[in-house]
Structure 1
Amino acid sequence: MSVTPRLHTAGTAMLDRARGLRPLIEREAAAAEAQGRLTTPVVDALHEAGLFDIWVPAPLGGAELSPRELLDVFEELSYADPSTGWVVMATTLENGTAGAYLGDDAVERIFRGPRTPLIAGQGTRPGTAVREDGGFRLSGQWSFASGMPHAQYAHSLATVEGTVEGTDEARIFITPIEDVEMLGNWDVLGLRATGSIDYAIHGVFVPESWTHVATEDEPLRGGAVYRLGVLDQSLICHSGWALGVGRRLLDELVRYAGARAGRPGQIADSDAFHTDFARAEAGFRAARALVHQTWADTERTLDSGRHLDVREETMVRLALNHITWTAAEVARFVYASGGTSALRDGLIQRLFRDVHAGTAHISSGPRLLKECGRELAGLAQGQSWALFALE
């Protein structure tokens, strides 16, 4: 008789390690932005601290953090530097889901070394795959592969043509980086150090064990967190990222205002600023509380052996959308309050750009918010979530 996996928890060790890396990450952030990728000292330190293993299933030697433990680590790293938090959240998600869902042959190859390899890629815009004996022939071009300059494997979504009764099946394909053509077109407003380049794969054979159905939510290894499936797990990533960046923006404004206290005409003596700051702080804390309450509820569901129902799926999407756009509102307030100091090159300017780059992600788009409202209003009876829409 099979046993339903329980939710695995690992404690605060990984959070403590992430916090310990903050001085290094902050020192390297400007250099990383200039070169369009994380610096070697930061990547090496993240490896040495085990932070690329936080999502890897425990049976493979990973930490396998719970959703709220993951939130805390992503918040901490994103507070130190939004690009660093973004790269870690993207690669660890793909490392973890590969470990949970791929076949034994692939897992034994990928996770056999002393240092966990990084998997990076794109899971929202599919390529195409044709079934062949023992596997698939994969081709396509994908955009925004965060962390790809540091990766040893690519994670790519593709549709397999004519799989079942003339329909297409969406699958995730893991391929060695040697099979990837890097298109190197990374010139963007924010999150510059994520190295989220475009890439292409041209007719590469991928064995069956190196793939899994994109909607897979029953792990071959590991506990209940993997019953969320790839998409719902990705919502943890972006929620933790927004928590860290929003908090850092408010804290930087506190430092900016405090340094100007006592000077005539400065915001530190402005009643209007005091009022607006109170509103911004309350709004951010309320959005943060929604994220944590929602994921606490989710953890209880997972630990009980159930999958999320439609309302619970709605709430994890709504919590992400709300914290992301709350962080964007905070960024606009901080930027406006920072005057010419925010206009010049520096931390507030970079945070402002990074937040607005983050809001462009599909997981925080207006369609998702509309769909959440429709479900919450009781107007989606009998429908369920398919990616970011109700059907």
Structure 2
Amino acid sequence: MMALQLMTGTTAAYLDAVAAADLFPDVAGGDHALLAGHGTRPGRAVPVEGGYLVSGSWQFASGMAHATHIHSAIQVEGTGELRVLAMPKSQVELVDNWDVLGLRATHSIDYHCADVLVPATHTYLATTTNPANGGAIYRLGLVNMSAIGHTGWAFGVGRRLLDELKLVAAAKSGTRNAAVDTAQFHAEYAAAEARLRSARAWAMEVWRGIEATLNAGELSSTEQDTLLRLALNHATWTVQDVGQTVHRWAGTAAIRRGPIDRFLRDLGTGTQHITSSPTVLQNCGKWLSGAQPRAHWEFLDLTP
């Protein structure tokens, strides 16, 4: 749902009136497109009269089971320009290959197409921070906006895991040799709670600053773009540490089918997302340490 609302909302914001009338004819009445897809590996777009002939293979289309239309990155042949398209789901071939350990419900399948005509009106510049519709938040741009959902997902998983561990502790407390009755468990639970709350507080601080900047009619700075990526990375790996604490103390509840088992598997998969990769963390360090003070962000890359 996070991916679906991100793709649908940004498509509605960045496409102009022609595409909006086609995809979102009656939003209030529930008549509108739902979009899913992927953008980190662009397909090929050959310019033709009125649009592009698009070919490519894309991965990790979270939310595709609910979508009516496709959201995909494309690179225009000849110019190298990166754009994002919207086209009916019926125009691509879906690959039912989401056979994974965690996040199974996202149905993040692959898909591909060859020489599909997409009108130019149904594409937008991938790096745009100039929305045709919507409020100030859309001046963040597509990639920066995605960090909101991924950060929220991490904190949601972390909060739920600690809440579930608390229920396990209540059920086991007082039984023979209950590990949850030890001082070590109480100390580690407290430490995990502190890590989670601290990471969340810092992320909220970062996003409050960004919100104030956007509300003032300005674009986010390179420092803010760096911090939102760093806050996401920190949130994700902090929650991974919290998950290890939960796994250590939950006992068999961590291996039998149930909420803890499911969220630990989801966490193991979610930490592999490109937005929380070691490369992004390294790029954050390059800018913050002063190694590349004049660089700026293009998607997840720090460009001199």
- For normalisation by structure 2, the TM-score amounts to 0.97
Structure 1 counterpart of 2:231, which letter? A
Q: CA deviation at 1:264?
A: 2.8
Provide the secondary structure at the position in 1 that maps to 2:53: strand
- Pick the aligned partner of 1:325 from 227, 230, 237: 237
CA separation in 1, counterparts of 2:277 and 2:290? 21
Q: CA deviation at 1:268?
A: 2.5
In the alignment, does 2:172 pair up with 1:256? no
User: 1:154 maps to which residue?
Assistant: 70
Q: CA deviation at 1:103?
A: 2.3
Structure 2 counterpart of 1:313, which letter? D
User: 2:144 maps to which residue?
Assistant: 232
- Pick the aligned partner of 2:19 from 106, 121, 131: 106
User: 2:132 maps to which residue?
Assistant: 220
In the alignment, does 2:4 pair up with 1:91? yes
CA separation in 2, counterparts of 1:142 and 1:234? 18
Say how many residue pairs are matched.
300
CA separation in 2, counterparts of 1:186 and 1:389? 27
CA separation in 2, counterparts of 1:183 and 1:132? 28
User: 2:217 maps to which residue?
Assistant: 305
CA separation in 2, counterparts of 1:346 and 1:221? 42
Q: 1:103 touches 1:211 (CA, 8 Å); kept in 2? A: no
Question: Which residues of 2 match residues 256-275 of structure 1 at below 5 A?
Answer: 256-275=168-187
Structure 2 counterpart of 1:105, which letter? V
CA separation in 1, counterparts of 2:200 and 2:163? 15
Provide the secondary structure at the position in 1 that maps to 2:293: coil
User: 2:251 maps to which residue?
Assistant: 339
User: 1:40 maps to which residue?
Assistant: none
Q: CA deviation at 1:117?
A: 2.6
Runs of 4+ in 1 over 4 A off after TM superposition: none
User: 2:266 maps to which residue?
Assistant: 354
In structure 2, stretches of 5+ residues that fail to align are: none
In the alignment, does 2:36 pair up with 1:123? no
In the alignment, does 2:61 pair up with 1:145? yes
CA separation in 2, counterparts of 1:280 and 1:266? 20
Provide the secondary structure at the position in 2 that maps to 1:307: coil
User: 1:69 maps to which residue?
Assistant: none
In the alignment, does 2:75 pair up with 1:189? no
C-alpha deviations, 1:334-357, integer Å up to 9, x for none?
A: 112111221111111110000111
- RMSD between aligned residues: 1.0
In structure 1, stretches of 5+ residues that fail to align are: 1-87
User: 2:154 maps to which residue?
Assistant: 242
- Pick the aligned partner of 1:177 from 70, 89, 95: 89
CA separation in 1, counterparts of 2:249 and 2:285? 32
C-alpha deviations, 1:115-139, integer Å up to 9, x for none?
A: 2331000011111000111111101
CA separation in 2, counterparts of 1:218 and 1:105? 17
Q: CA deviation at 1:389?
A: 2.2
Provide the secondary structure at the position in 2 that maps to 1:162: coil
Structure 2 counterpart of 1:317, which letter? R
CA separation in 2, counterparts of 1:117 and 1:103? 15
CA separation in 1, counterparts of 2:251 and 2:174? 17
Provide the secondary structure at the position in 2 that maps to 1:262: coil
Q: CA deviation at 1:158?
A: 1.0
CA separation in 2, counterparts of 1:190 and 1:341? 17
Structure 2 counterpart of 1:228, which letter? L
Structure 2 counterpart of 1:101, which letter? Y
CA separation in 2, counterparts of 1:267 and 1:292? 34
- For normalisation by structure 1, the TM-score amounts to 0.75
CA separation in 1, counterparts of 2:157 and 2:211? 24
